[in-house]
Structure 1
Amino acid sequence: MSNQTLALCRAAPYGSALAREGIEAVLASAAMEQEIDLLFLGDGVFQLLDSQAPEAIEQKSLRRNLMALPMFGVEQLYVCQHSLEERGIGPDLIQIPGAEVTLVDNPGELIATFQCVLSF
């Protein structure tokens, strides 16, 4: 079993503060040299799309936070394949430079390998 922490990113990027606060918590943990990976599933996969216009709803983009993840040592991102398919998102639309993006068929198996799991 891994000593790392897994953060589950389930919330859509806008409409509540949960997605932003989750990514900020991950960045803060990484800044404190905690090993943390992310799993994007459900509506959380929308956080990874670059083609968003949050200024239209007077929100700040999450893109800058996501792009900072590798700079803080968060280099492994998991994405639920089923969540992408349900939402009609192709894996080619998921690009975070410096991060390794791994598609996951069975998120439950992945989650079971971590000792600590946070959900946002």
Structure 2
Amino acid sequence: MSNRTLALCRAAPYGSALAREGIEAVLASAAMEQDIDLLFLGDGIFQLLDNQAPEAIGQKSLRRNLKALPMFGVEELYVCQSSLEERGILPEQIQIPGAEVTLVEKPGELIAAYQCVLSF
């Protein structure tokens, strides 16, 4: 894993541009054939929930960007188990078509396996 980059998705999907810009950076990296993985933790896991209505607050959905990840070769998404539990979200609620969701019990160990880590 030392040649791969890990993107930490920590930001809630709406309220700032950080979540959108993070996913766009990952898509751009993947389009340039860079090896990049994603770890959703903290409020970033809210990005993965379906049935959001961001148009009610005048924002665009991130769902299209997330669904594009497998088309760009990002087919495995890491999700922090304790972040899910703290927010009362069940693993079954996290689904991105074409991507495998892997729950991570010790995100620190996963992060430590990467030489390059980006945080959004």
TM-score range, shorter chain: over 0.9
Distance in 2 separating the partners of 1:118 and 1:81: 20
Distance in 2 separating the partners of 1:25 and 1:47: 15
**Which has the larger share of strand?**
1
RMSD between aligned residues: 0.7
Structure 1 spans left out of the alignment, 5+ residues: none
Name 1:62's counterpart in structure 2: 62
Q: 1:81: Cα distance to partner? A: 0.4
13-22 or 94-103: which moved more?
Answer: 94-103
Q: Identity over aligned residues, as a percent?
A: 88
Name 2:48's counterpart in structure 1: 48
Q: Deviations over 1:9-40 (max 9, x none)?
A: 00000000000000000000000000000000
Name 2:16's counterpart in structure 1: 16
Distance in 1 separating the partners of 2:96 and 2:52: 15
- State the aligned residue count: 120
TM-score, structure 2 as length reference: 0.98
